A and B are shown apart, each in its own frame.
Chain A
């Protein structure tokens, strides 16, 4: 089987007269919308806002660490800055990043539905997100919070007089926004698939979102419980975590990581979905080992729930339970390896082009591989004793979350930008941005592995002078990285008005979303699609294109 795919001539493309963007006008039509696409845009704007707040805080952290002394800001201020950086980036950017924006926009279209199962709950989820954002900004504006994003007891309950409750409530509310998103995806994927859209015809993007949704729905309530207990302990001193009252501070660690480890997969799985779509489209080939990739997502979701105590190997858990959790951690690494190899194999005998989304996807593969393998270092019990709580772990999770997830997010935003807006982003400068991001990232975070092995602890405002050279590299890299993130922000905004008109299927991709106009109609499809072909069937697409009569709504 072979297929020649040629990209359509874009010079004749026109914007459709009617789309979800111009169906209604006015602020009210956006704020009270039930349309999953408009909610996705609302989310996109709000998470971008929080990304740049979190990014500015990261810039402050790197500036402080340029010199060994704590000289740019007081230690207290530094503690508040890294705490807010963590809270904002994790709960207000990474967790909703791909699912609430790209996922929200695409899941209904990919399964052939008019909207998500519960449009109003979807809108409520955005309002909860905004409320969470307001609480977090309030905590910042009122003077900050310095618990670290982990809210570790008894520090957070007895020893700080900052705005722990405000920030905690922010995270608590953000959790519900994520539960609602997950619930909507699960029901939509189960109940609203178009005729003929069987589970194994779903794009892998839907599989990975399904796996992430299960984690959101089952894991997030535990975080909510942990935060409520922290708040109650702070306000009325119920003593669940207080050893003086017979409580156990280790219990908090168990509850917190029972959510926060699966949360890592909540963040990365949707990104993996993006990568599957992008790699397939730009190599014009079905994803190698579709079922293996689909089931590896589910395996990550299942195993992901049973590895939480690997965050606690040095915390006095019994040696034998540490043994079990280390073993399970090794097992959860395997599905990620399977995905990486399948993506690489997808390229084999493809017909590859290197548009911006593909460059970001390559960046993802490289950086996520490093992030994943250094996770094996940390999962190995003895090694973890030396590496945990140092910059090694900081580098590790930034490789996974920023090198992996943020690359995937940018890949997805570029890939579906023509679908969302009807216009192309400028190709030249965006390639430059992708390369800049990659270089800046490696320069920022690779030296941190070395300084971590040297023993530099995380969350330090000052450090011994012999660590300075590596920290200077890191700070230099962070400034390059900052440019890499500002560029897309600027040219994507520019492209809203001046970008070339995209047409329905500029990449000649096979997903249902590419078979409808860009930007889509409010109701997505004029007639319910009937699916009689497999996912990533480029032959079907080639035949379809030959016989297609151009219809524009």
Chain B
């Protein structure tokens, strides 16, 4: 049979591109796949049992062979058997799945943090060092990376199939996920929550780099100011320091040691100051009223973008650490052209 070489080439290309199993590129992926194969195993066994029963009875008791049906009421023993065995197997998958879930959604404390902002229809990544990316994410290999994510508009979902992780990105609320990439390479990034017209274009790539390549990438793509530095300038331009001055008689609480501390609210309860708490307090100050302070802070709803909020959070987070030493840049080195409106202020 003669096959046109053009079609042949096309077929070869098509079939070599044919994927049946996703790459395993994160520390969690082998664990996920193990559970998957266990689930496939019990499914196949269950399906084969049901299939064999139906097929065997259909052959043995077909009308030609067995013209007379024998009436049977039922059997408590059998009912108990096929209640308890499936239940036991389901409990195993429940426990196994729960362990995996808690592992994926509880980041280790030493994870490096990257902020993700989702919007119709792109993914923005904000690295603490000041690197900004759109529809891409560069991460180092063999290091735990935590993503702190928020949506600017509708629900999105950040999915990296090769890492077997995914999390909904929600408006008005930070969600987190973490992974540790194990293989350098380029992997798919998908938005998996339907988000409107260009949902299927809200894709990108996750690039896993070796430590050296990552170093080179970090140095080569910085925007000039780290997130915390941008946050500092935003803090000043919004006039935050007039109240949060750190003085004993200031109107607002001192923020220097705020992040991570446990504070008392006016309603008597206690809470830990985390990213979400800081964001809520900027946008909706009366939501968590801190004991000992009058509810006089105005809302900044609509004045600061999600990226701006992230910078502010990152700045406050870094107040009790020596971020100036950690970062290669400091405020005085920022180019004069950038001193106008700090990035993150919503232009009115």
Does A468 lie within 8 Å of B17, measured CB to CB? yes
Is the C-beta of B159 less than 8 angstroms from some C-beta in chain A? yes
Does B15 lie within 8 Å of A313, measured CB to CB? no
Report, as a range, how many residues of chain A touch the other chain: 35 or more
Is the C-beta of A244 less than 8 angstroms from some C-beta in chain B? yes
Does B97 lie within 8 Å of A243, measured CB to CB? no
A255-263, A284-292, A415-423: which lies at the interface:
A284-292
For B154-172 the 0/1 string (1 means CB < 8 A from A) is 1101010110111110111
Q: Which residues of B contact A292 (CB under 8 A)?
A: 74, 79
Is the C-beta of B8 less than 8 angstroms from some C-beta in chain A? no
Q: How far is the CB of B117 from chain A (nearest CB, A)?
A: 15
Contacts A152-B194, A381-B98, A468-B17; is A352 near B57 (CB within 8 Å)? Answer: yes
Q: Which residues of A contact B99 (CB under 8 A)?
A: 382
Is the C-beta of A530 less than 8 angstroms from some C-beta in chain B? no
- Give chain A interface residues in 448-465, CB to chain B under 8 Å: 450, 453-455, 457-465
Contacts A334-B83, A373-B43, A382-B35; is A457 near B94 (CB within 8 Å)? Answer: no
Contacts A326-B97, A457-B192; is A314 near B157 (CB within 8 Å)? Answer: yes
A119-127, A168-176, A264-272, A340-348: which lies at the interface:
A340-348
Contacts A457-B159, A462-B201; is A155 near B17 (CB within 8 Å)? Answer: no
Does A283 lie within 8 Å of B61, measured CB to CB? yes
Does A376 lie within 8 Å of B17, measured CB to CB? no
Contacts A75-B197, A341-B82, A374-B43; is A453 near B36 (CB within 8 Å)? Answer: yes
- Give chain A interface residues in 386-411, CB to chain B under 8 Å: 386, 388-390
Does A75 lie within 8 Å of B161, measured CB to CB? no
* Nearest A-chain residue to B158, judged by Cβ: A314
Does A348 lie within 8 Å of B71, measured CB to CB? no
A9-17, A93-101, A134-142, A315-323: which lies at the interface:
A315-323
For B302-317 the 0/1 string (1 means CB < 8 A from A) is 1000000000000000
Contacts A154-B154, A381-B101; is A347 near B53 (CB within 8 Å)? Answer: yes
Partner of A249 from the list B51, B100, B172 (CB cut-off 8 Å) is: B172
Is the C-beta of A76 less than 8 angstroms from some C-beta in chain B? yes
Does B94 lie within 8 Å of A326, measured CB to CB? yes
Does B161 lie within 8 Å of A315, measured CB to CB? no
Q: How far is the CB of A537 from chain B (nearest CB, A)?
A: 8
Q: How far is the CB of A467 from chain B (nearest CB, A)?
A: 7
B62-70, B210-218, B324-332: which lies at the interface:
B62-70
Complex Cα distance A313/B102, Å?
11
Does A334 lie within 8 Å of B90, measured CB to CB? yes
Is the C-beta of A46 less than 8 angstroms from some C-beta in chain B? no
Complex Cα distance A354/B21, Å?
39
Partner of B103 from the list A75, A382, A388, A467 (CB cut-off 8 Å) is: A382
Q: Which residues of B contact A150 (CB under 8 A)?
A: 194
Is the C-beta of B104 less than 8 angstroms from some C-beta in chain A? yes
Q: Which residues of B contact A27 (CB under 8 A)?
A: none
Does B17 lie within 8 Å of A285, measured CB to CB? no
Does B69 lie within 8 Å of A3, measured CB to CB? yes
On chain B, the number of residues with a Cβ less than 8 Å from chain A's Cβ atoms is 91
Partner of A459 from the list B17, B153, B194 (CB cut-off 8 Å) is: B194
- Give chain B interface residues in 1-60, CB to chain A under 8 Å: 14-15, 17-22, 31-32, 35-36, 39, 42-43, 46-47, 50-51, 53-54, 57-58
Q: Which residues of A contact B32 (CB under 8 A)?
A: 382-383, 385-386
Q: Which residues of A contact B17 (CB under 8 A)?
A: 465-466, 468-469
Q: How far is the CB of B252 from chain A (nearest CB, A)?
A: 22
Q: How far is the CB of A276 from chain B (nearest CB, A)?
A: 13
Complex Cα distance A93/B72, Å?
37
* Nearest A-chain residue to B190, judged by Cβ: A457
Is the C-beta of B105 less than 8 angstroms from some C-beta in chain A? yes
Q: Which residues of A contact B154 (CB under 8 A)?
A: 152, 154-155, 158-159
Contacts A159-B120, A463-B200, A466-B18; is A389 near B98 (CB within 8 Å)? Answer: no
Contacts A347-B58, A348-B61, A366-B51; is A5 near B69 (CB within 8 Å)? Answer: yes
* Nearest A-chain residue to B47, judged by Cβ: A369
Q: Which residues of B contact A338 (CB under 8 A)?
A: 79, 82-83
Contacts A75-B201, A243-B173, A455-B161; is A349 near B75 (CB within 8 Å)? Answer: no
Is the C-beta of B93 less than 8 angstroms from some C-beta in chain A? yes
Complex Cα distance A344/B51, Å?
9
Q: Which residues of A contact B70 (CB under 8 A)?
A: 1-2, 285, 349
Q: How far is the CB of B71 from chain A (nearest CB, A)?
A: 4
Is the C-beta of B96 less than 8 angstroms from some C-beta in chain A? yes
* Nearest B-chain residue to A472, judged by Cβ: B14
Contacts A244-B301, A369-B46; is A539 near B71 (CB within 8 Å)? Answer: yes
Partner of A454 from the list B22, B73, B173, B193 (CB cut-off 8 Å) is: B22
Is the C-beta of A48 less than 8 angstroms from some C-beta in chain B? no
Does A380 lie within 8 Å of B86, measured CB to CB? no
Does B50 lie within 8 Å of A383, measured CB to CB? no
For A511-528 the 0/1 string (1 means CB < 8 A from B) is 000000000000000000
Partner of A453 from the list B22, B90, B120 (CB cut-off 8 Å) is: B22
Q: How far is the CB of A454 from chain B (nearest CB, A)?
A: 5
Does A152 lie within 8 Å of B74, measured CB to CB? no
Among A70, A155, A354, the one with the most B-chain Cβ atoms within 10 Å of its Cβ is A155
Contacts A249-B170, A289-B79, A389-B166; is A365 near B98 (CB within 8 Å)? Answer: no
Complex Cα distance A380/B102, Å?
12
Is the C-beta of A377 less than 8 angstroms from some C-beta in chain B? yes
Q: Which residues of A contact B54 (CB under 8 A)?
A: 344, 347, 362, 365-366
* Nearest B-chain residue to A6, judged by Cβ: B67
Complex Cα distance A16/B72, Å?
36
Is the C-beta of B334 less than 8 angstroms from some C-beta in chain A? no
Is the C-beta of A115 less than 8 angstroms from some C-beta in chain B? no
Contacts A380-B39, A457-B191, A469-B18; is A316 near B175 (CB within 8 Å)? Answer: yes
Is the C-beta of B284 less than 8 angstroms from some C-beta in chain A? yes
Q: Which residues of B contact A353 (CB under 8 A)?
A: 62-63
Contacts A315-B168, A316-B173, A369-B50; is A385 near B157 (CB within 8 Å)? Answer: no
* Nearest B-chain residue to A291, judged by Cβ: B74
Does B97 lie within 8 Å of A453, measured CB to CB? no
Complex Cα distance A473/B164, Å?
25
Complex Cα distance A349/B18, Å?
47
- Supply 27 A–B pairs (Cβ within 8 Å), ascending by A: A3-B69, A70-B200, A75-B199, A79-B194, A154-B171, A243-B172, A250-B173, A283-B61, A291-B74, A314-B166, A314-B167, A315-B155, A316-B167, A326-B94, A327-B94, A331-B90, A334-B90, A341-B82, A344-B50, A349-B72, A369-B50, A382-B31, A382-B99, A383-B36, A386-B161, A455-B159, A455-B162
Residues of A bordering B, CB below 8 Å: 1-5, 70, 75-76, 79, 146, 148, 150, 152, 154-155, 158-160, 243-244, 246, 248-250, 283-286, 288-292, 313-316, 319, 322-323, 326-327, 330-331, 333-334, 337-338, 340-342, 344-345, 347-354, 362, 365-366, 369-370, 373-374, 376-377, 379-386, 388-390, 450, 453-455, 457-470, 538-539
Q: Can you name 15 extra interface pairs (CB under 8 A) apart from A369-B46, A457-B192?
A: A3-B68, A3-B71, A248-B172, A291-B74, A319-B105, A330-B87, A333-B90, A334-B83, A334-B86, A344-B54, A383-B35, A389-B159, A459-B200, A463-B200, A468-B14
Nearest 10 pairs of A and B residues by beta carbon = A455-B161, A382-B100, A243-B172, A380-B97, A381-B101, A289-B74, A347-B57, A389-B192, A460-B200, A330-B90
